[in-house]
A and B are shown apart, each in its own frame.
Chain A
């Protein structure tokens, strides 16, 4: 049985220096994009989703666990950040921290429940948990139900950086994205990451070597959830709202699509996937109903013929690990 991520481990060459080059290039390009005339809000939105996708990929690409409920982290953090900033007057950095911590707590609690199972059962439990949360959020007053939390003030980060100025907000968001991305990169390329990959490849063997696999999986789940939460918290500041759309299972499906399209188990794949999907939503919005159909077509094509995803195909062609 071919594992869902076998395509990721092709020809591990001395990837460290390759990655460094790509990361530097990525930083330079992203830093320069607003000056090239691309609309900053679009990129900021895409960066938040790119972080979300990278966090999700940590779990599936390296941990081998497909979560169908990751929206619960995105949405919970968004709501908490929005509420603490708008209603309790938190400054933005504390609001983001609060949101991220809420996601961590959620990751811990739901992880304890979900980790005990694998494969399709794991996916179903995560789906069920996120549905439960969705219905809870639909009812609780603090979320304002389907109106969502609106007009979240942006404030000044650390009392200095005025986030209502688009250019400043842009670099702040870029900073958070890079931070999250580097955490993930570090996690993947650490002993922890190696153990995780070995668990994905052959869990019984890892257990026989003495590793407490459940603990590793739980840790990966919590880490993935935390970073997804960070993405949600920052997104709440950028778009200035937090709504039910962020906790709906369709959002969980969207992140799966982004990672699948970009390249499951690749490092840069989720970023590309997120940018493509967000661009489609934005720039094809004029075509109305066909956006959903095209997403479906992309799913189908990727699974049938393009399993490695965009970055995966490039990596395969270049015989590198990306």
Chain B
């Protein structure tokens, strides 16, 4: 008797994906926030993303309407193995409906496949890989917040237009760095600028003196930092030491977050230009959200754009479910509904999700304030330019994604 019961349970667990079609709609939703809680991206994603998801659940008001929504979180340690295992466990055993966040492209791409296989929903906010909506696009995936195309386009185009027409790249020698450099260089040349030099440094370099000296010698107006994380913050800090900015050159960080700027301090980071899609101090709505967020955060940090993206994506997901009248536990159907409904949230404003899963919203070119201009511990940026949504992301003609109908 017991044996056949366990047989049944096992068969049920293994066939959960096939049975998705047979499932009826109900008002149970389980969301899993999978990200880095202990290493490089812990500040940008981490516990803050879980909080953002929880706030989205609260703001959706669905709990009061008889829905049962649960948010769980786990640390993938930036390892694809761990991320894949957790994702599978969540989808097969714990009946998670949507996985959110997932920074680190290698993990995001792996989870993308698992979610597609199991027909659930992938709400990615943390990864930069534009592959998620181009070469590896999936009907189960929505890519919020940002991608490499936006970063290149935003910063590159705006700076060239503002007069920075000669560029020198300091590139991290790995796929992501190359992609950033390639995309930005393309934008620079397309807008009349010139790339006068490139130097590639190994990943996780601590000393940039040699490379910065070369950047200085090139006399390029803009020194573009095609790297991320610790490499970026170290290159910025050392650039200040070598007097790059005071010597007249401008630094363009291609991937920077508000937590990086806070960690550098305004003295070092002042004058830096980069693109993000969210800043806590943009308007009244972002300010209101950020105040509530930082009060609930352990160290009172303001939300990063990735965490804001988790909020936006989760909120829209829940709204779509509400519009469908229940949770069909079918990823393709839900994402299709998410694309059908225009988005409107206090953080990103009004926007849409394109057929390839790409969420469209404007990008903002920011410049870091001088210490004298800052009136508070988190008063770090001033807005230089806004890049409209239509220009910010990979144009449809350039994307190989099969989901896009090209006219």
Name A residues whose Cβ lies closer than 8 Å to a Cβ of B: 34-37, 39, 41-42, 45, 135, 138-139, 144-148, 150-151, 166-167, 235, 239-241, 243-246, 281-282, 285-292
Whether A148 touches B80, Cβ cut-off 8 Å, given contacts A35-B10, A39-B92, A241-B110, is: yes
Q: Mark interface residues in B89-129 (1 if CB within 8 Å of A CB, else 0).
A: 10011000000000001100110010000000000000001
> In the complex, are the beta carbons of A39 and B73 less than 8 A apart?
no
Instruction: Identify which of B46, B110, B173 contacts A139 (C-beta below 8 A).
Output: B173
Q: A150-B113, A288-B47, A292-B38 are in contact. Are A240 and B84 (CB under 8 A)?
A: yes
Interface residues contributed by chain B, number (CB under 8 Å)? 44
Contact among A146, A151, A290 for B113, CB-based, below 8 A: A151
Does B201 sit at the interface, judged by CB under 8 A? no
A246 CA to B75 CA, complexed, in Å: 18
Give A274 to B92 CA distance when docked, in angstroms: 23
- Chain B residues 26 to 84 lying within 8 A of chain A, measured CB to CB, are 37-38, 42, 46-47, 72-82, 84
Q: In this complex, what residue of B is CB-closest to A166?
A: B14
Whether A41 and B92, one on each chain, are in contact in the complex, defined by CB atoms closer than 8 angstroms, is yes
Return chain B residues, CB-CB under 8 Å to A41.
85, 88-89, 92
B14:A285 contact, CB within 8 angstroms = no
- Beyond the given A39-B93, A167-B14, could you list 12 further A-B residue pairs with CB under 8 A, ordered by the A residue number? A138-B203, A166-B14, A235-B81, A239-B84, A240-B113, A245-B80, A281-B82, A286-B72, A286-B75, A287-B75, A288-B74, A292-B38
Chain B interface (Cβ within 8 Å of chain A)?
3, 6-7, 9-10, 13-14, 37-38, 42, 46-47, 72-82, 84-86, 88-89, 92-93, 105-106, 109-110, 113, 129, 131, 136, 173-176, 202-203
User: How far apart sit A37 and B11, CA to CA, in the bound complex (Å)?
Assistant: 10
- Which residues of A sit under 8 angstroms from B110, Cβ to Cβ? 148, 150, 239-241
Q: List 7 A-B contacts (CB under 8 A).
A: A35-B10, A41-B92, A135-B202, A150-B106, A167-B14, A241-B110, A288-B42
Main secondary structure of the interface of A (DSSP, over half): helix
Please tell me if the beta carbons of B174 and A150 are within 8 angstroms of each other in the complex: no
| Leading 9 A-B pairs by shortest Cβ distance | A288-B37, A145-B175, A289-B38, A285-B74, A288-B75, A245-B79, A243-B80, A148-B106, A147-B106
Number of A-B contacts (CB under 8 A): 115
Known interface pairs A41-B88, A41-B92, A146-B176. Does A239 touch B38 (Cβ–Cβ under 8 Å)?
A: no
| B85 and A42 form a contact (CB under 8 A) | yes
Q: Which residues of A sit under 8 angstroms from B76, Cβ to Cβ? A: 285
| Among A37, A244, A286, A287, contact of B106 (Cβ-Cβ < 8 Å) | A244
A282 lies within 8 A of B129 (CB): no
**Smallest distance from the beta carbon of A232 to chain B beta carbons, Å?**
11
- CB-based contact B10/A146 at 8 Å: no
Query: Nearest CB to that of B47 among chain A residues?
Result: A288
B42, B46, B82, B175: the one contacting A285 at CB < 8 Å is B82
Name A46's closest neighbour in chain B (CB-CB): B85
Q: Contacts of B86 on A, CB cut-off 8 Å?
A: 282, 285
Known: A241-B110, A288-B75. A282 touches B85 (CB 8 A): yes
Q: Are A239 and B81 in contact (CB under 8 A)?
A: yes
Residues of B within 8 A of A167 (CB): 14
A35 neighbours in B (Cβ, 8 Å): 3, 6-7, 10
B329 to chain A, nearest CB (A): 19
- In angstroms, Cα B118 to Cα A41, docked, is 14
**Complex CA distance for A246 and B110, rounded to whole angstroms:** 15
